[in-house]
A and B are shown apart, each in its own frame.
Chain A
């Protein structure tokens, strides 16, 4: 098991205005054994199979910890209020909006971001079928919503408790907004990935 230690930037992520956020990754290594500074909590997050030890304020949001402390910029911040889906990650395989999760509450779970999606599904090299399908179907324009779209799609197909017709898939994907309106190709990509992953077609 790989294990990496960080402490959150001196200007706490959780208090910073998005526009004036402290530069990411000012984080130094946390001296093993030393306690977290007052007001901070030492936590371990398991992200894409790697354990990271972080010292964070309790109000640090998982999305900010992933992007600003761990430098995983694939997960995007759109609205920061659960209204767009750009921040979707998997917690133990289920899609969730990381902008409304506290980092301190995500210990002892498997966190998967777009960077680890292929690997989490056993594709050590190359892409997850959903990523392949998005490429093949040109399922994006600016790409800002794409990571979130793919994370929701992969979880929905995997869980297998949504019907495979267009109406059901559109409903299941409705929490992922695309400002570019690439929905037509997104749906095609999701359908083709579903066919590939379930063996139906």
Chain B
């Protein structure tokens, strides 16, 4: 593994001051060190943010839940308020990675994790995300794991996070801080579509870091996260769906639907939500919602199955969330 300088930051201000554009922050290290070993990320300096005092989970007066960027994935998933009020997020977190990795991984690092596109992870291959302008190896290559929603002719890589899909469904705000001060960004606007600049993945300016993610007040209702993948555990999603269903009698008063594994960013499926609102909570309604989401999907040579799989994920997650709402 290539060498780098190392500095530890004790508070947010130090982290901001020490963080130059050719440097990387390290929290849990489960994305960063993996990619430095592969020579995909080449930081000159690594700034340790793991000791920043951002490890609390607290309820705000307006009912939102403020999660420090250094809360581990395990702590967040097993926190009693999260398990009770945001079960979709707890389930999403626990479906990701493994026991050991979740103990290491941080909330901020999870938001910032990089795609698992095998060409991105192989410095010998052209990749617009890793080296802008070199071309996309996946579009004409093996693209079985790639996205069908939100793609561009420059990049079709999926965003790999489960946690982020739970957060999009629950509704959240990303809080970032830099030398210009604090900014709050709606979670859905934080990750960027690849468009012509797939190397720009987030609305995070040079020198800024994530300090918190704030979850919207609990939506109640029934919640479910369904993850479909090549093996039962310890594997990234081929398609996943986070669903929150609020019922009034047999009708859906409100629904939130988000998807992972099929899109270039954690995907809010507003088309499904609109198709569900006010409708009876039946399989036919769920299927219409799924069709609405996948209407805009674009398949490549090996990933057409994701359109079908994605629809099934939506239908099944809605079924489970509805059952939970009735329980």
Contacts and interface: CB of A to CB of B under 8 A. Distances in A.
Contacts of A29: none
Interface string A36-51: 0001010000000000
Given A14-B3, A100-B104, A82 B78 contact: no
Contact of A105 (B29, B38, B100): B29
A174 to B, nearest CB: 4
Nearest to B46: A58
A97 to B, nearest CB: 5
B34 A82 contact: yes
Contacts of B48: 102, 104-105
A100 B113 CA distance: 14
> Helix, strand, loop or mixed for chain B's interface?
mixed
A102 B29 CA distance: 8
Interface in B1-37: 1-6, 8, 26, 28-30, 33-34, 36-37
B97 interface: yes
Nearest to B7: A58
A95 B233 contact: no
B78 A161 contact: yes
Interface in A23-65: 39, 41, 57-59, 61
A96 interface: yes
B233 A174 contact: yes
Contacts of B305: none
Nearest to B94: A171
A175 B1 contact: no
Nearest to A170: B233
Contacts of B312: none
Given A80-B37, A105-B50, A170-B233, A95 B99 contact: yes
Interface in B100-116: 100-101, 103-104
A97 B234 contact: no
B34 A81 contact: yes
B43 to A, nearest CB: 10
A92 to B, nearest CB: 10
A21 to B, nearest CB: 12
Nearest to A91: B103
A158 to B, nearest CB: 12
B26 A101 contact: no
Given A57-B3, A170-B233, A101 B29 contact: yes
Interface string A1-34: 0000000000010110000000000000000000
Interface in B279-298: none
A14 to B, nearest CB: 6
B103 A95 contact: yes
Contacts of A152: 99-100
Interface string A95-139: 111001110110000000000000000000000000000000000
Scoring A161, A175, A177 by chain B CB atoms within 10 A of each residue's CB, the highest score goes to A175
A152 B97 CA distance: 14
Contacts of A171: 233
A16 to B, nearest CB: 9
A161 B34 CA distance: 28
Interface string A153-184: 00110000100000000111111110000000
Contacts of B59: none
Nearest to A14: B1
Interface string B64-101: 00000000001000100000000000000000011111
Contacts of A100: 28-30, 33-34, 101, 104
Contact of B26 (A41, A102, A156): A102
A97 B3 contact: no
A94 interface: yes
Given A82-B34, A100-B33, A171-B233, A95 B3 contact: no
Closest 4 CB pairs of A and B: A175-B98, A58-B6, A174-B233, A174-B234
